[in-house]
Amino acid sequence: MAMSDARKTRVVVGMSGGVDSSAAAALLLDQGYEVVGITLKLWPQDCVSRAEDKCCGPQAVMDARAVCHKLGIPYYLIDEANAFQKQVIAYFAEEYKAGRTPNPCVMCNEKLKFGALLDRARQLGAERVATGHFARLEKSPDGRRTLLRQGRDARKDQSYFLFSLRQNQLERALFPLGEMTKQDTREVARECQLKTADKEESMEICFVPDNDYGKFLSDAKLVQRHRGDIVDLRGQVLGQHDGVEFFTIGQRKGLGISSPKPLYVIELDAASNRVVVGDDSALERDQFEVERCNWIPFDEPPAEMRVSAKIRYHHPGTEATVRPLTGGGASVTLHEPQRAITPGQACVFYEGDLVVGGGWITAHK
């Protein structure tokens, strides 16, 4: 976007203390926007001592503040710890307790980065909110809707985590890195002499130290261990466990039972606190349902759609037929069975690089 197009529009950039958000701020400034940097303080006070490189940690705040100082733009640290606790961490724990595997990044984008941060932007007189996501936005041909597309760099695309954003959120969003690669963003940061240019990125959930979610849930007293049975597909008891919260679909290690052949978690029955295990072939499915769907190109989806369905972030996508259901859900038929379709995870639908929408995978019926 040229400087004349920006017309000194005020934009709030969500600053995580990483290279991507730093480069996004620098690019918008170069394009003529009036840029304001904001970091949402999401960590509770008892979490300040966690890993310094986390996007919700104190080192990240110092790095974000240093970047904004270097760019000569205002910087604010805004406390949203209570909202984060209620809308992300509580959701995270409740999903595990229900035998589902949550995706807190999607929820954080919807509720915090394009929820609370949008509200803060309005208070500062800003018209748009920008982040360092690798995704692209464009207007529909009739100009009535904002469309979401994959980032140009397929290896870094993050559109999966943005599928649940509504039109009122998408139309005020900016993703300056959508056409770029990760290396491009580092070059932008180096050219601007930003301290985050060579900072390593964390691939873990920002509030879970060492990616050990079970330890986090226990240490934070969000769940309590409660003994239950590990059973096979016929219901025969094979062993004991400390709670369905500590397992995920497809898990093989840590079952604590011996077997002549590898066993995997096939189902988590929270109501009876049972972990159901079986061999690898039992993990494959070609039909499931999703709930709480969000459709981006249209208000009302067609009766049937042929899409590429991503059943988790690192999944390459597979051809599927989607049929919307009453009540905001949809049935999904995969053209080839897939392994470890996990309740609680997002299933996102694509037509080419266009995000059609998606929903949350439900348990077996």
Give the integer Cα–Cα distance in Å for 271 and 25: 47
Q: Is 55 a catalytic residue?
A: no
Alpha helices in the chain (DSSP H): 3-6, 19-30, 58-71, 81-84, 90-97, 104-108, 117-123, 167-170, 182-191, 213-219
Give the integer Cα–Cα distance in Å for 175 and 7: 18
Q: Is 68 a catalytic residue?
A: no
Count of positions (residues) in the chain = 365
- The residues, any chain, with a CB within 8 Å of residue 74's CB and separated by 6 or more, are 36, 37, 68
Catalytic residue among 55, 68, 206, 293: 206
Catalytic residue among 68, 108, 192, 293: 108
Contact 68, 37 (CB under 8 A): yes
Q: Which residue type does 220 have?
A: A
**Which residue, 339, 227, 309, 334, is CA-closest to 273?**
227
Instruction: List residues with catalytic annotation.
Output: 108, 206
